[in-house]
Amino acid sequence: MRIVYIGSGRFGLSCLNALRDSKHGIEFILTQPPKAAGRGRRTTQTAVAEWAISSQTPFIETSDASDPSVIKKVRGVNPDLILVIAFGQKISDELINLPAKGVINVHGSLLPKYRGAAPINWAVVNGETETGVTIATVTSQWDAGLILAQAKTPINPDENAEQLSDRLSALAAGLLLETIGKIEDGTAVYSKQDHSHVTRAPKLKKTDGYIDFSLPALMIRNMVRGFRPWPGVCAIYCSKTTGKTCRINIIEARLVQDCRTSDLPAGTLDENHNLICGNGLLKIEKIKPAGGAAMTFEAFVNGYRVAPLDKFVKIEE
């Protein structure tokens, strides 16, 4: 089939590779414009734009997929199917009604759970033990279309959102080719979602990572896993000895125990350099000071002269 791909994030790259190697043709790609990113605020193209360049596939970068000139371009390649993955813009009814075989989306959750922009992150943050991918039709309502296929997978206890995203991306590729084949030969089954079981996965904000250490240790650890790589779990480290402060990002941490066993305030380091939380203790394993490189917590302890009773406090919004 002739396919137009609409997407921006690296989550869709496995599907793009699978389509490139299949009998189907990617006629054209729509993706978001370049954005400033990183410490140097260097303008960077989307992962999908970079893929299109390397594979010599025609593409347009647009901040408005509803623009008449964009729709004209899509119509000009006469697609049988439009595929949307991690695009970041709402798809207009004009695009939805354009291809003969419709518009489908690959979503990183088991719909109707985790509708929204960050399903993988929130599944990890909420401590889910299972997730998956869903292929569904695109409608005017976010992630509310008819389901064509789903595949499940467990979430590993130590897995972060970035690692899970890569696994789900690979899982989606085979499922997508199978589903497109059924759409092509008319055997696809379209099932309604149970809207009474909807949960939400809103777009992540920088402030989501500003952690309150009075929360349970398990919850904070899930946030460390779920907010990787962005926005990260951020706090202010305060040295009791020197009075100096430093903004940090907790990259990796493990649960020491479930029950709080200290009368020290939440956010304080105990005599073993465990971080006291509202309920339980965390052992920080990897940390990144602002403006510095990621390092082991042992290296941070030595370099910053960390001592018991030093504190980590929440960043105020």
User: Which helix (H) or strand (E) element contains residue 35?
Assistant: strand 35-37
- Note whether 123 and 111 are within 8 A (CB): no
Measured CA to CA, the distance from residue 66 to residue 88 in angstroms comes to: 13
Q: How far apart are CA 49 and CA 55, in angstroms?
A: 10
pLDDT averaged over every residue in the chain: 95
Superfamily of domain 2-197: Formyl transferase, N-terminal domain (3.40.50.170)
The fourth-level CATH superfamily of domain 206-313 is Formyl transferase, C-terminal domain (3.10.25.10)
Evaluate if residue 309 carries a pLDDT over 70. yes
- B/e letters for 294-307, b = 16+ CB within 10 Å, e = fewer, are ebebeebbeebebe
Dist. CA 9–CA 102, nearest whole Å: 22
Nearest CA-CA partner of 109 in 88, 144, 133, 143: 133
Amino acid 259: pLDDT: 58
Rounded distance, CA 317 to CA 314, Å?
A: 9
Dist CA 16 CA 30 (whole Å): 13
Residue 91: pLDDT over 60: yes
Residue 268 DSSP class: B
H or E, element range at 254: strand 245-257
Residue-level pLDDT at 36: 79
Q: Supply the Cα-derived Rg of the chain in whole angstroms.
A: 22
Question: Percent of the chain having pLDDT more than 90?
Answer: 94
**Which sequence spans correspond to the domains of the chain?**
2-197, 206-313
Q: What is the pLDDT of residues 96-151, one digit of tens each?
A: 999 999 999 999 999 999 999 999 999 999 999 999 999 999 999 999 999 999 99
pLDDT at 263: 84
Q: How many C-beta atoms surround the C-beta of residue 39 within 10 A?
A: 6
Query: What pLDDT, on a 0 to 100 scale, did the predictor assign at position 4?
Result: 98
User: 150-179, pLDDT tens digit by residue?
Assistant: 999 999 999 999 999 999 999 999 999 999
Q: Which residues pair with 135 in a beta bridge?
A: 106, 149
Nearest to 6 by CA among 69, 68, 96, 76: 96
Rounded to two decimals, the pTM is 0.95
